[in-house]
Structure formats: structure tokens, C-alpha cells
């Protein structure tokens, strides 16, 4: 069985803690590798190596740091198929979805090539008599990121690319469920010209997370995952004086107005609700059709589409719609919530509980589910399911639908499907959610805008990627200077005529 490693100071390093976690093939349920789980001492070795390497990297001018990012983009494109296959093997995503995971991270790296422009400071000439004032953005030092299983390529690049472009060193603690791609990314960064020690990958669990949060050298921490863990990391990290941004759970609503193109809306719900087996923080998990007629027509369009979904391993070809969920525990939790929906009175229109794939009976596959007549008091509405389950709440009016989206504790993303510009504009202005789609089902901003939710979906005052990333990974220093003016060989008090 393959034994994975950490990546410290430019080398693959075996774990020394004696603790390991199993890495599964989600399609077969088999253990395919084991990954070491670092202790605090191993984390400290990585941090010290990063701290030793970082000052020289920060002294490299931004244009040369950007050239490393340029080369890294080329290497990502050259290795796209290899990265996607490794990602699919450990996560279970289809190959096109895995390639998209890499691509959306690559786009943030492309944005970071603009570091020379993004790191420019401000200057005021003659702010006072003989006084100039200017500001500069400087690297923090050693930064860290704790990333989730569902995007093992994209989210690490969302964090380490801007951090490194700003002149920091970075400690990446990826998910122990699918750790191979982060290790590959570290290798490619050094192949692109990054000095050893600037990007470290330390695998682990809560022990290594706590080591990050408590380490005095680490200046900032980024996290993406569930809301309870986001709250824990934010609280502990901030109490230790670190700059922290944490992104948590979601329950994303899509309002479908009576005037919407229902074929377009149904197609959008299929992709956004069931893509990646629903294991996306931007998945649409709640459909809010306005009016009984709209709801009836929407359900009629959804059912045949859902029943036609092809579920299977990534090795079955590019026509597979989604693969397994990541672990047996994730599958059990999804099915438990589905059972609660039935018990609490929701109508299970499409029942995927007995789904089984011949030849892959031990895999972590979950069939697609569609609930109708869901109410806000049900667990399937209140909790993030993180699986291929779509819940439908029938709203009597636009205001009722808007109120449901606004009153939920999560505020990551939301969408509306309508042909009416006034309704769309009102929705965008009023809804208290961070990312909005208007006739767009998964409103994930492009790399040069920022990504972040509201309410219990995000903790911290800056979003991921875009301009906010360059603010998060730097400190502003403001200098006020005065240089006495006058003739260098002594003052003269009489006005001299021009010769």
C-alpha cells in the first residue's frame, strides 16, 4: 500500500508521529493509501523552514515572483490530465469536474501574475512643508491554510497563490481524505522556480490544526469547511493574535418566479444540485418555486431529468454525471438526513435510498433524491446535507421566498430565475447573502472578483481571492518623511538673479 508523505523544505518527508489516516477510493470503498498525520513537532519543523526561507523571498521583486506564477500556470496546463486523474481517484469526482477544480484554481494563479500592480502603494507629495507621505504593502511572514476535501486543487491555490505572490511563505494543511494533489502542486510550484521552503504541505488532523493555530510564528490562517469548525478556528486563531478568515457551511436557495424559463431553471437545478454529488458549498440545495402552478410544472420537469442522471465512477467515461461521495461516513449522514425528511413529512418524489451500482456495491455512491413539500422546521432544510439531495419549498409569493432565503442562518450563495428585471434588481439589492446569481445557478465569482458568504457562512472581514486576497496577505505600512531643503553647501538668504 502506498504511504504518502509531507512536503517540507523541498523534499518528501515521511511522517514520524506514528499516526496515519486511510485514503479511500470512494468508487470501490477500498483503502488505496495511508497519509501521515503530523504532530506539533513536525509542524514546527515545517514552520521553521518556512520562516528561514521567507525573508529572501519577500526581498525578491514582485515582477520576478509573478514570473514564477506564470511558469506555474504553464505547468498546470501541461499536467492537467495527471492532476485531474489523481483528484478523481481520491475524491470520486468525474474527470471533467476534477479538471474544472484545477482550472478554477489556475485562474486565481493567473490573477496573481498581476502582483506588481496589486502591491503598489500610495504616495502624497508635499503633504506638509517639505513632507512626503507614502504607504507600502508588505508580506506578513509565514501564513497557513487549512483546506477541505471537496476542492483539493482549487481552494489550496486560492490561498497559497496570493499569499506567495505577496512575498509570504505558506504552510498548507490539506484534507487528509484526498492529499495527493496538494503534494503534486507543491512539486510543480518548485519546478516553476519557487525557492525551497516557501510552500510546505503538512498532512494532519485536529492535532496539526491546533499546532497551526497556536504557533507564534504563523501570522495568518485561512480555512474552508463546516461552520462549527470555522467558528472554532476563527475563535482560537484570533485569540492567538492571528489574522484569520474562515468560510463555513451553506444552504443555497434558488427562487423560481412564475415568469421564469422553467426548462432553463430545471437544467440549472440539476447541475447545481447534483453536480459533484452535491459536495459543493455553492450547490443549490433548496428550490423555491413561487406559486403552486410554478411548483407543479417545475417538479414535472425535474423528475425525468433526475431519473436520467448517470451515477458512476470516473473511470466509466465523461458522460457520468456524478460519482460517489467521499467517505462511507458521508454517505451514512446523507441517508440519515433523507430518512429524517421522510419521517418529518416531506414528500420524497425521487427516492435514491436503494441505489446500488453493479460491481461497485462497496463504493460510496448515493442515488439522487428530490423532496417536495418541505417546510422550514425540517432537518433537511435547516442542515447542510452536502449530498445529492434537492429540497423544494413551495412559496406563496416572492416576498415569502425572499424571506426564507434571508432568514436562514447560512448566507453563502443564492439565485433567482426570472424574466423580470425589476424583480431581479430588487432581489440582488435586498437579499442578505454574499454571492448572487440572476439566471445563473452557481454564482461563484471569477478570480478577479472576491468569493465570500455572509452570516454563518463566513467569519472575518475579507473575502477569498481577488483584491481582498492581496489585502489579507499583506500589512500596510505608512511612512511620513521630511528632508530639509536648501543649498547643500550652506543656506543663502538673498535671491540670486539668473545668469
Active site residues: 281
d(CA 422, CA 77): 42
- Residue 186 has φ and ψ, to the nearest 5°, of -65, -40
Q: Closest by alpha carbon to 90, among 181, 169, 25, 155? A: 25
Inter-helix orientation angle 62-78/154-165, to 10°: 160
Closest CA to 221 of 204, 239, 195: 239
Q: Where are the alpha helices (DSSP H) in 92-145?
A: 95-112, 115-118
CA atoms within 13 A on the CB side of 443: 23
**CA–CA separation, 212 and 231 (whole Å):** 15
C-alpha cell at 479: 511612512
User: How many whole angstroms separate alpha carbon 102 and alpha carbon 384?
Assistant: 25
Contact yes or no for 366/92 (Cβ under 8 A):
no
For residue 127, what are the contacts with CB-CB under 8 A and spacing of at least 6?
A: 133, 480
SS3 286: strand
Q: Which of 154, 277, 207, 238 is nearest to 460 (CA)?
A: 238
399 three-class SS = helix
* Torsion-angle region of 427 (φ positive above 0: left; ψ -120 to 50: alpha; else: beta): alpha
Spatial distance between the Cα atoms of 235 and 252, rounded to a whole number of angstroms: 25
What is the maximal distance between C-alpha atoms in the chain? 100
Strand order from edge to edge, sheet including 2-3: 2-3, 30-36, 20-25
C-alpha cell at 136: 507600502
Q: Is 386 in a helix, a strand, or coil?
A: coil
DSSP class of residue 126 equals E
Amino acid at each position: 500500500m502506498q504511504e504518502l508523505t509531507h512536503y517540507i523544505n523541498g523534499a518528501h518527508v515521511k511522517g514520524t508521529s506514528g499516526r496515519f489516516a486511510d485514503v479511500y477510493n470512494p468508487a470501490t470503498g477500498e483503502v488505496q493509501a495511508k497519509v501521515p498525520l503530523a504532530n506539533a513537532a513536525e509542524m514546527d519543523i515545517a514552520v521553521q523552514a518556512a520562516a528561514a526561507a521567507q525573508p529572501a523571498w519577500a526581498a525578491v521583486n514582485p515582477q520576478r515572483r509573478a514570473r514564477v506564477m506564470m511558469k506555474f500556470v504553464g505547468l498546470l496546463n501541461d499536467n492537467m490530465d495527471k492532476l485531474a486523474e489523481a483528484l478523481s481517484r481520491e475524491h470520486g469526482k468525474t474527470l471533467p469536474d476534477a479538471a474544472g477544480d484545477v482550472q478554477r484554481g489556475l485562474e486565481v494563479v493567473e490573477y496573481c501574475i498581476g502582483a506588481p500592480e496589486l502591491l503598489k502603494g500610495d504616495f502624497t507629495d508635499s503633504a506638509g512643508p517639505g513632507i512626503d507621505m507614502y504607504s507600502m504593502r508588505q508580506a506578513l511572514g509565514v501564513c497557513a491554510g487549512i483546506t477541505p476535501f471537496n476542492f483539493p486543487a482549487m481552494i489550496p491555490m486560492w490561498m497559497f497563490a496570493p499569499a506567495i505572490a505577496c512575498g509570504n511563505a505558506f504552510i498548507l494543511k490539506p484534507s487528509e481524505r484526498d492529499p495527493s494533489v496538494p503534494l503534486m502542486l507543491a512539486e510543480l510550484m518548485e519546478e516553476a522556480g519557487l525557492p525551497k521552503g516557501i510552500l510546505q504541505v503538512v498532512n494532519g488532523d485536529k492535532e496539526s490544526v491546533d499546532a497551526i493555530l497556536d504557533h507564534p510564528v504563523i501570522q495568518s490562517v485561512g480555512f474552508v469547511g463546516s461552520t462549527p469548525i470555522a467558528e472554532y478556528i476563527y475563535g482560537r486563531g484570533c485569540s492567538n493574535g492571528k489574522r484569520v478568515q474562515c468560510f463555513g457551511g451553506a444552504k443555497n436557495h434558488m427562487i423560481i418566479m412564475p415568469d421564469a424559463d422553467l426548462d432553463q431553471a430545471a437544467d440549472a437545478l440539476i447541475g447545481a444540485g447534483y453536480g459533484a454529488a452535491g459536495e459543493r458549498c455553492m450547490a443549490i440545495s433548496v428550490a423555491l418555486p413561487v406559486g403552486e402552478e410554478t411548483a407543479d410544472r417545475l417538479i414535472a420537469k425535474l423528475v425525468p431529468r433526475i431519473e436520467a442522471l448517470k451515477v458512476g465512477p470516473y473511470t466509466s467515461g465523461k458522460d457520468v454525471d456524478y460519482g460517489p461521495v467521499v467517505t462511507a461516513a458521508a454517505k451514512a449522514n446523507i441517508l440519515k438526513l433523507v430518512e429524517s425528511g421522510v419521517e418529518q413529512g416531506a414528500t420524497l418524489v425521487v427516492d435514491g435510498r436503494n441505489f446500488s451500482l453493479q460491481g461497485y456495491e462497496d463504493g460510496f455512491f448515493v442515488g439522487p433524491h428530490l423532496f417536495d413539500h418541505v417546510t422550514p422546521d425540517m432537518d433537511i432544510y435547516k442542515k447542510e446535507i452536502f449530498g445529492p439531495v434537492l429540497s423544494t419549498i413551495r412559496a406563496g409569493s416572492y416576498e415569502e421566498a425572499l424571506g426564507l432565503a434571508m432568514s436562514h442562518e447560512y448566507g453563502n450563495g443564492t439565485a433567482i430565475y426570472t424574466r423580470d428585471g425589476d424583480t431581479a434588481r430588487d432581489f440582488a439589492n435586498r437579499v442578505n447573502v454574499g454571492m448572487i446569481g440572476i439566471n445563473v445557478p452557481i454564482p461563484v465569482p471569477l478570480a478577479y472578483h472576491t468569493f465570500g458568504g455572509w452570516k454563518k457562512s463566513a467569519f472575518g472581514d475579507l473575502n477569498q481571492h481577488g483584491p481582498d486576497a492581496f489585502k489579507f496577505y499583506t500589512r500596510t505600512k505608512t511612512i511620513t518623511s521630511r528632508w530639509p531643503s536648501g543649498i547643500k553647501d550652506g543656506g543663502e538668504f538673498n535671491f540670486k538673479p539668473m545668469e
